[in-house]
Amino acid sequence: MEAQAQPLLCTVDRTVHCRHVPVTGGVPADLAGCRWRGAACALKRSACLKVYATSSASGSPGPETEKPTLAGNTHKLLESTDGKSTNIFWHNNPAGKNERVKLLNQKGCVVWITGLSGSGKSTLACALSQELHNRGHLSYILDGDNLRHGLNRDLSFKPDDRAENIRQVAKLFADAGLICITSLISPYRRDRDACRYLLPRSSFIEVFLNVPLEVCEGRDPKGLYKLARDGKIKGFTGIDDPYEAPTNCEIVIGWHDGMCPSPKATADEVVFYMTKNGYLT
Ligand SMILES: Nc1ncnc2c1ncn2[C@@H]1O[C@H](COP(=O)(O)OS(=O)(=O)O)[C@@H](OP(=O)(O)O)[C@H]1O
Ligand SMILES: Nc1ncnc2c1ncn2[C@@H]1O[C@H](COP(=O)(O)OP(=O)(O)O)[C@@H](O)[C@H]1O
């Protein structure tokens, strides 16, 4: 028997991840005053979620809609429609985010390293991961080149494909409590911002390797700039494809007097930022 759909009221005290799907029939007026404020904000901001709760007044609580919480209270499962999936439910985990923060002594986040090919993203990602490891912190690197051998092997370098899957994966890692280090050209501001806004506030640290094109091209460790200049690779970032530099990111690694700080010095700068801002405890 299908649950009878009614607007959800005040029975859920955990937020659900629901920012990106259109609300069917608009935001219920009575959602405004409920304790489910995170979701209410998200609903207002964009659009999301068909919310159902089985009517207890109708007698039967409904087969899948009420579950006891650990505290003995009941809360209702939320049915959501996200993308093409229907009849899916959000399950809360009692060993939640705060517990993971305490266990790991770190706040899960995404360190998003962006810059031209050859700017030193992969090198910094490894140096940073090593530095964090030395200090007893758990991190994981998502590297553009590596991901294109596996998870993202079906993606091209067209604008819609660049950086696509990474956002959701990075978000999952950060939610799991890891320091997720991404090393991606990610040339478009809107793609980087899309990940920033997908994450909880202050969980996204954008690091821009501001290395001039001539320097990257001079390094050309894979010979790709040469191929691009010879017209043998089309749409190469910096040559015949754009790179939109960040305008307001957390950390810019600058190029001073013709010198680039070493990978270790750069990693230390990122760790310093993370310590100062409470990511590492
Ligand atoms: N057309 C074109 N433009 C830019 N880069 C290219 C291209 N074709 C292949 N490569 C190689 O792919 C690596 C970049 O992959 P990313 O996933 O980081 O790129 S993106 O974020 O989707 O723009 C990049 O690796 P890095 O040099 O480590 O940046 C290149 O080796
Ligand atoms: N801070 C640095 N100073 C000098 N050379 C660097 C620095 N970081 C990386 N490199 C060199 O630049 C080249 C490109 O580095 P890489 O990490 O592969 O860049 P990306 O991942 O951005 O393509 C490599 O040869 C690497 O040794």
Q: What distance in angstroms lies between residue 157's CA and the mean position of ligand 2's atoms? A: 21
Which amino acid type is present at position 150?
G
Pocket test for ligand 1, best of 112, 113, 117, 215 (most atoms within 8 A of CB): 117
- The residues spanned by each domain of the chain are 97-277
Q: CB under 6 Å to ligand 2: residues?
A: 115, 117-123, 183, 219, 221, 260, 262-263
**Catalytically annotated residue among 55, 186, 202, 262:** 186
Closest residue (by CA) to atom 19 of ligand 1?
A: 185
DSSP per residue over the chain, as a string?
-PPPP----TT--S----TBSPPTTS--GGGTTSS-HHHHHHHHHTB--------GGGS---TTTEEE-TTS-EEE-EEEEETTEEEEEE---SS-HHHHHHHHTB--EEEEEE--TTSSHHHHHHHHHHHHHHTT--EEEEEHHHHTTTTTTT--SSTTTTTTTHHHHHHHHHHHT-EEEEE-----HHHHHHHHHHSPTT-EEEEEE---HHHHHHH-TTSHHHHHHTTSSSS-BTTTB-----SS-SEEE--BTTB---HHHHHHHHHHHHHHTTSB-
Closest residue (by CA) to atom 6 of ligand 1?
A: 236
DSSP per residue over 8-36, as a string?
--TT--S----TBSPPTTS--GGGTTSS-
CATH architecture of 97-277: 3-Layer(aba) Sandwich (3.40)
Ligand 2 atom with least separation from CA of 116: 22
Assess whether 186 carries a catalytic annotation: yes
Q: How far apart are CA 39 and CA 162, in angstroms?
A: 29
The pLDDT profile of the chain, 281 residues, written as one tens digit per residue, is 333 333 333 333 333 333 333 333 444 444 433 333 333 333 333 333 333 333 333 333 333 333 333 333 334 455 555 566 777 777 778 888 899 999 999 999 999 999 999 999 999 999 999 999 999 999 999 988 888 888 788 888 887 777 677 888 899 999 999 999 999 999 999 999 999 999 998 999 999 999 999 999 999 999 999 999 999 999 999 999 999 999 999 999 988 777 889 999 999 999 999 999 999 98
- Can you tell me the ipTM of this complex? 0.98
Closest residue (by CA) to atom 26 of ligand 2?
A: 120
